[in-house]
Amino acid sequence: MHEKCGVVGISLRDRNAARPLYYSLYALQHRGQESAGIVTHDGFQQHSHVEMGLVGDAFSPGDLESLNGSNGIGHVRYPTAGSVNTSCAQPFSVSFKSGSLGLSHNGNLVNADEIGDELADLGHAFTSDGDTEVIAHDLARNLLEEDLVRAVKRTMERIHGSYSLTIMHDETVLGVRDPEGNRPLCIGELEDGYVLTSESAAIDTLDGDLIRDVKPGELVVLHPDGTGYDTYQLIERENTAHCFFEHVYFARPDSTIDESLVYEVRRELGRKLWGESGVESDVVLPVPDSGRAFASGYAEAAQNDGSDIEFAEGLMKNRYVGRTFIMPTQDERERAVRLKLNPIKSTIEGKKVTIIDDSIVRGTTSTQLIELLKDAGAEEVHVRIGAPPIVAPCYMGIDMASRDELIAGDQSVEEIRDEIEADSLSYLSIDAIAQTLETSRTDLCLGCVTGEYPYDIEGEETDRDVIRPEIGGSATPADD
Ligand SMILES: O=P(O)(O)OC[C@H]1O[C@H](OP(=O)(O)OP(=O)(O)O)[C@H](O)[C@@H]1O
Ligand SMILES: NC(=O)CC[C@H](N)C(=O)O
* DSSP secondary structure string for all residues of 357-380: ES--SSSHHHHHHHHHHHHTT-SE
Closest of 136, 21, 139 to residue 72, by C-alpha: 21
Catalytic center residues: 5
Of the bound ligands, which one is closest to the alpha carbon of residue 130?
2
Where do the H-state alpha helices sit in 261-358?
262-277, 291-304, 330-340
Contact 426, 356 (CB under 8 A): no
Residue nearest to atom 8 of ligand 1 (CA): 1
The pLDDT of residue 106 is 95
- How do residues 358-412 score in pLDDT, each as one tens digit? 999 999 999 999 999 999 999 999 999 999 999 999 888 776 668 888 999 999 9
Contact 217, 240 (CB under 8 A): no
- How do residues 402-441 score in pLDDT, each as one tens digit? 888 899 999 999 999 999 999 999 999 999 999 999 999 9
Ligand 1: centre distance to CA 326 (Å)? 12
Of the bound ligands, which one is closest to the alpha carbon of residue 106?
2
Ligand 1: which of 3, 365, 404 to mutate, most ligand atoms within 8 Å of CB? 365
d(CA 374, CA 235): 54
Could you tell me which residues come within 8 angstroms of residue 442 by beta carbon, excluding any fewer than 6 positions away? 239, 463, 467
Contact 219, 231 (CB under 8 A): yes
d(CA 296, CA 433): 17
Mean pLDDT, range 206-229, rounded to an integer: 98
Q: Which atom of ligand 1 is nearest to the CA of 362?
A: 3
Q: State the ipTM, two decimals.
A: 0.94
In this predicted structure, the answer to whether residue 478 has a pLDDT above a threshold of 80 is: no
Contact 460, 453 (CB under 8 A): yes
The pLDDT of residue 1 is 45
Predicted model pTM: 0.92
Other Cβ atoms closer than 10 A to 331: 9
Other Cβ atoms closer than 10 A to 320: 7
Of the bound ligands, which one is closest to the alpha carbon of residue 112?
2
Q: Which atom of ligand 2 is nearest to the CA of 78?
A: 1
Name the residue with higher pLDDT: 352 or 467.
352
If you average pLDDT over each of 29-33, 293-297, 330-334, which comes out highest?
Answer: 293-297
The pLDDT of residue 297 is 98
Ligand 1: centre distance to CA 290 (Å)? 8
Ligand 2 contact via 6 beta carbon (within 6 Å): no
Strand, helix or coil for residue 50: strand
The pLDDT of residue 466 is 42
Q: Which atom of ligand 2 is nearest to the CA of 80?
A: 9
Ligand 1 contact via 362 beta carbon (within 6 Å): yes
- How do residues 242-295 score in pLDDT, each as one tens digit? 999 999 999 999 999 999 999 999 999 999 999 999 999 999 999 999 999 999
